[in-house]
Amino acid sequence: MSMHRAAVLPQKGGPLSVQERVTPEPGPNELLIEVMAVALNPVDHHQRDFGLPPVPVYPAVIGSDVSGIVVKTGSNASLPGTTKPLVAGDRVIAFASSFYQSGSPDYGAFQKYVLAQPEGVIPLPAGLSFEEGAVFPLAVLTALTAWTTIGIPLNTRYAPEDRQAVLIWGGASSVGTLAIQSARTLGFTRVYATASPKHHEYLKRLGAHAVFDYKAVDVVKQIVDECQKDGVKLETAHCVVNGSLQPTLDVLKETKRHGVVAKVAHSPLLPPDHPNLDGTEIKFNYPIMDPTERDKHMYECFHDWLQDGLQSGSVVPSPSPQIEGGGLEGLNLALDKLRAGVSGTKIVVPI
Ligand SMILES: NC(=O)c1ccc[n+]([C@@H]2O[C@H](COP(=O)([O-])OP(=O)(O)OC[C@H]3O[C@@H](n4cnc5c(N)ncnc54)[C@H](OP(=O)(O)O)[C@@H]3O)[C@@H](O)[C@H]2O)c1
């Protein structure tokens, strides 16, 4: 029986505690991965500190974003349509989360060896470090699920004559940067985002056409004016950060055409008393729970979009990793730093 080290969440309220765990064998449709770096997401400190979203099993292993090396593959872990199946020794990017595995700690990222399903595992390109690769998984899944949540399939390719625009409120966040990159793939004629001025040039390099300072008192007017100047239809938005729904609706009120239903995806929890706008659908960006639908969606997110985009160079790691030391023992402090707030960076911990 092999053992490995894990940052275990022993009970609700944390903190994480480094312990030995039995290293699992991969099931037929699974890969065992040696974890080289993990990236942190707000959900990780919410789960550590408050057990929310609910942690079904304690002791738990939380986390979701991994880069590492394939150690073993299950007997049936190569996916149909995959040109080169992953084998032991391959460097990979992996979505590794116990969230879809009834909380089983074998699937949580914050440990040295983790199980993952092949739909969420892709090769890490030779030109990228483990730290760069780790920034993607949950942010990619969230940014891309937002589109399907509001009825925009991932194979959508708007044509320039469609004049479709999109507003991403919170463009410098981890999810926001990947919302911008994926909006370009979908073919939006104009991608508008909000962020602090120090990030504007960076977000334009990622694909935003115009970026607005969300702290400007007239930010809503600035966006509406830009939209009118560009002659585009702005009826689609992704509210990535807390506090973004009201100003987004204020923009849409001016830009949406009469009789057209505007669509807004909302990534933070949507409070029951949230603001509304006539003729506008606001949907919480909810993870897909049906396993068959989810596997297909994960394949489209990771293999069709991320892997292809990395290969062609149309997708780059974003935002830049902020590397924190300490390995598994350093995760509590790194999570505290994320909880205190980041600006245009993704906290990554080499393991
Ligand atoms: N529904 C889901 O399945 C799901 C999954 C993952 C994450 N989420 C949620 O999605 C949200 C984003 O997560 P994340 O990891 O991407 O966050 P993050 O990277 O930690 O977000 C930090 C960024 O938020 C920006 N920001 C904060 N307030 C803003 C405002 N009022 N307007 C514009 N930008 C603002 C800051 O921009 P500046 O630096 O420019 O100031 C900062 O760069 C979180 O609420 C998270 O819980 C939901």
CATH assignment of the domain containing 119? 3.90.180.10
C-beta 248 within 6 A of ligand 1? no
- Residue 263: the pLDDT is 98
pLDDT, one tens digit per residue, over 18-44 is 999 999 999 999 999 999 999 999 999
Task: Report the first-to-last Cα separation within the chain, whole angstroms.
Answer: 22
Token reading at 175: 């999810």
Q: Is there a contact between 19 and 336 (Cβ–Cβ < 8 Å)?
A: no
pLDDT, one tens digit per residue, over 259-303 is 999 999 999 999 999 999 999 999 999 988 899 999 999 999 999
Distance 168 CA to ligand 1 centre (A): 11
Does 76 score more than 90 pLDDT?
no
Burial of 55 (0-12, 13-18, 19+ CB in 10 A): buried
C-beta 146 within 6 A of ligand 1? no
Q: Taking the C-alpha atoms of 30, 116, 326 and 268 in order, what is their torsion angle to the nearest 10 degrees? A: -170
Instruction: Give the range of the structural domain holding residue 81, as residue numbers without chain letter.
Output: 3-135+319-350
Token reading at 306: 């991320």
DSSP summary character for residue 118: G
C-beta 339 within 6 A of ligand 1? no
Question: For 260-265, which contacts have Cβ atoms below 8 Å and span 24 or more sequence positions?
Answer: 260/233, 260/235, 261/235, 262/235, 262/236, 262/237, 263/150, 263/151, 263/152, 263/235, 263/236, 263/237, 264/150, 264/236, 264/237, 264/238, 264/239, 265/146, 265/147, 265/149, 265/150, 265/237, 265/238, 265/239
Q: Do residue 253 and residue 328 come from a single domain?
A: no
Question: 245 in a domain, yes or no?
Answer: yes
C-beta 178 within 6 A of ligand 1? no
- Residue 241: the pLDDT is 98
What is the rounded CA–CA span in Å between residue 38 and residue 110? 7
Q: What CATH number should be reported for the domain holding residue 153?
A: 3.40.50.720
- Residue 50: the pLDDT is 97
Give the atom of ligand 1 at the shortest distance from the alpha carbon of 244: 31
Residue 78: pLDDT band (50, 70, 90) is confident
C-beta 122 within 6 A of ligand 1? no
Question: 314 in a domain, yes or no?
Answer: no
Distance 146 CA to ligand 1 centre (A): 14
Q: Do residue 81 and residue 154 come from a single domain?
A: no
CA distances in angstroms from 123 to 23, 62, 77, 100, listed in the order given = 23, 23, 14, 22
Which residues, other chains included, contact 81 with Cβ-Cβ below 8 Å and sequence gap of 6+? 303
DSSP summary character for residue 349: E
Question: 310 in a domain, yes or no?
Answer: no
C-beta 199 within 6 A of ligand 1? yes
Q: Do residue 156 and residue 261 come from a single domain?
A: yes
C-beta 47 within 6 A of ligand 1? no
C-beta 108 within 6 A of ligand 1? no
Domain count, the chain: 2
Residue to mutate (ligand 1; options 145, 203, 241; most atoms within 8 A of CB):
241
Burial of 316 (0-12, 13-18, 19+ CB in 10 A): middle
Residue to mutate (ligand 1; options 147, 169, 174, 175; most atoms within 8 A of CB):
175
Per-residue pLDDT, averaged over 296-312, amounts to: 97
Q: Do residue 332 and residue 220 come from a single domain?
A: no
Give the atom of ligand 1 at the shortest distance from the alpha carbon of 344: 43
Does 118 score more than 80 pLDDT?
yes
Per-residue pLDDT, averaged over 62-87, amounts to: 88
- Residue 255: the pLDDT is 98
Q: Do residue 23 and residue 120 come from a single domain?
A: yes
C-beta 138 within 6 A of ligand 1? yes
Partners of 22 in the β-ladder: 3
Give me the residue label for tokens 């600006």: 343
What is the rounded CA–CA span in Å between residue 20 and residue 30? 22
- Residue 172: the pLDDT is 98
Which residue in 21, 185, 29, 240 sits closest to 120, CA to CA?
29
Q: Do residue 156 and residue 246 come from a single domain?
A: yes
Question: 313 in a domain, yes or no?
Answer: no
Residue 81: pLDDT band (50, 70, 90) is low
C-beta 270 within 6 A of ligand 1? no
